[in-house]
Amino acid sequence: MSNLSLNPEDWIPHRAPFLLIDRLISIEPGLRASGEWRLTGDEWFFPGHFPGRPTTPGVLMLEAVAQVGAVAVLSDVRFTGRLPLFGGVENARFRRQVLPGDTLTLECEITRLSARGGKGHGRASVDGQVAVEADLLFILADAP
């Protein structure tokens, strides 16, 4: 990983307000990546999800894990110029609420990868407690 950028914007096309990775921790091209998403309480979704009890939406936690997975895929030189798109989610389990002030540790390991797509196993956790875990299926499209 020595020369790889840990800036998520160098790897994936997502931008605010939909870039859900604040920083990357590690990248092993084509194999795995990890990062963090710090939830300050100022995020756009908290006022409506839910008023009086702000909770991070589960689908956004899955998206954050998928974004880390996309970094793992796109850091592999074989997939430069491609765009991983969701193909499906299997075995998703939501295990704890994620609240303002929490930091999600995001991890995704690529378990199958080909020129057309693949599969990854990902999780998001807070202080070592799993918040969500799932198998993510993706296809690889040409980037615009």
Residues annotated as part of the active site: 49
Q: Round the CA-based radius of gyration of the chain to a whole number and report it.
A: 15
Q: Residue 110 phi/psi, 5° resolution? A: -80, 120
Cβ neighbors of 91 (< 8 A, separation 6 or more) are 133, 134, 135
Strands (E), 74-128: 82-94, 103-113, 117-126
Answer yes or no: are the C-beta atoms of 20 and 63 closer than 8 Å. Answer: yes
